Amino acid sequence: MSGLFISLEGIEGSGKSTQAAFLADYFRAKGFSVVRTAEPGGTRISLGIRELLLSTDNTGMTPLTELLLYNAARVQHIREVIAPALDRGDVVITDRFSDSTTAYQGYGRGIDLKLIDSLDLIATGRLRPHLTILLDVAVAIGLKRNRAANKTDRLELEEVSFHERVRKGFLSIAAEEPGRIRIVDCSGDLEAVSRRVYAAADAFLCTLRA
């Protein structure tokens, strides 16, 4: 695989989708061929699984079912979209990847992190983004942004303490892998945040040239 794999991560309302779109344009302007995608999703089958996961009809879903479904959606996403794009040498920018599973199902739901890691090995074969940008924001601000945008799916409706655990989870993952994960404060306006995201991308590109 010769492409570049980049993920954006963060809690609800951290602005990942907007920043992913800006970042895709940024890389295109530098002459890269870019594939922009998102989890759970990216393929017809993965989008079907997304519907199951996020429907507020499915409040009875067990944490283990949830974990397996996120992984199932990821297997299909890698096979159909991510791996072929990386093989072509493209830049793949995904809104969420494995770190979301560790943060939400591990830190948020309390599933054993070792189990999460074993499943991740099966699902991804340890495919890891070369760069992960963690958009960090206070839970109160993120949830307020999402409610203003009328986003209320099954996970967004979880209590505030769940989202606090998820945020802490992301920060713990980032502390463990400072080489891969760069934390960007996304509490300010869109332009200020995008400048920080571009700076993180530039710093990463410099490490490739070094």
3-state secondary structure of 136: strand
- 3-state helix, strand, coil split of the chain in percent (to 5) is 60, 15, 30
Residue 39 interacting with ligand TMP (CB under 6 A): yes
- Total number of residues that touch ligand TMP (CB under 6 A): 13
3-state secondary structure of 13: coil
User: For ligand TMP, which residue of 40, 42, 106, 169 counts as binding (CB under 6 A)?
Assistant: 40
- Tell me the C-alpha to C-alpha distance, in Å, between residue 25 and each of 85, 94, 125: 17, 14, 29
Minimum CB–partner distance for residue 114 and ligand TMP (Å): 17
Which position's Cβ is nearest ligand TMP?
104
Tell me the one-letter amino acid at 43: T
Q: Which is nearer to ligand TMP, 22 or 32 (CB)?
A: 22
Pairwise CA distance, residues 179 & 130, whole Å:
9
Angle at Cα 55 formed by Cα 36 and Cα 121, nearest 5°? Answer: 55
Site for ligand TMP in 51-70 (CB under 6 A): 70
Among the listed ranges 33-41, 112-120, 125-133, 137-145, the one in contact with ligand TMP (CB under 6 A) is: 33-41
Q: Are 205 and 158 in contact (CB under 8 A)?
A: no
Q: Binding pattern to ligand TMP, positions 140-179, x when CB under 6 A?
A: ---------------xx-----------------------
Residue 101 interacting with ligand TMP (CB under 6 A): yes
Which residues contribute to the site for ligand TMP (CB under 6 A)? 12, 38-40, 70, 95-96, 100-101, 104-105, 155-156
